[in-house]
Amino acid sequence: MTGFRHYRPARPTDAEQIAVFNRQLAEETEGRMLDPDTVRRGVLRGLQQYPEVRYFVVEEAARGLIGQLMFTREWSDWRNGWMLWLQSVYIVRDCRGQGVFRTLLQTALDNLTAEDTVVGIRLYVDRSNTTARQVYEKLGFQDPGYDFLERCPES
């Protein structure tokens, strides 16, 4: 049985747990071990980037944080509004399949669309992560027909 769940925008005091979730997410989805200090600094910096970066969390009184997501935004001149990018989605394993992510996503969208002109929501998902893809599709996400390319600065 779960306790009362509170869905809310993240605070700086949540940074440490968000960083832990991000490292767990990378390990689960890509088998990558991320540097804890780098991720912690990245989360703290992200929390300072409002309104371009917004984290939302869900917590239970007895357990603390049990999930998170992050939205970043980019301006769409084609649509005259903000395109939101959904990232860093993580729900602790024993809370998955209970509607926690659905409620967290809706809470975040209610907050974001009340403040901004949101014209679309996008995300990227690893091709091999069929479970996540099915969840996103159930929530109305579709393949827009774009490929995702990346170029990193030269080291």
Q: Determine contact, residues 40/16, Cβ cutoff 8 Å.
A: yes
Count of Cβ atoms closer than 10 Å to residue 115 Cβ: 10
Beta bridge partners of 55: 70
Q: Is 88 helix (H, G, I), strand (E, B) or coil?
A: strand
Give the angle 38-40-45 at the CA atoms, nearest 5°.
95
Averaged pLDDT, 18-22: 98
Interacting residues of 127 by C-beta distance below 8 A, sequence separation 6+: none
pLDDT of residue 73: 93
Q: Report d(CA 61, CA 38) in Å as an integer.
A: 29
Q: Binning pLDDT at 50, 70 and 90, where does residue 1 land?
A: very low
Which architecture, in CATH terms, is 5-138? 3-Layer(aba) Sandwich (3.40)
pLDDT of residue 150: 81
Give the angle 99-122-53 at the CA atoms, nearest 5°.
85
pLDDT of residue 155: 60
- Whole-number percent of the chain with pLDDT over 70: 97
Q: What is the pLDDT of residues 42-57, one digit of tens each?
A: 999 999 999 999 999 9
Which of 63-67, 115-119, 139-143 has the highest average model confidence (pLDDT)? 63-67
Q: What is the DSSP string of 26-76?
A: HHHHH-----HHHHHHHHHHHHTTTTTEEEEEEEETTTEEEEEEEEEEEEE
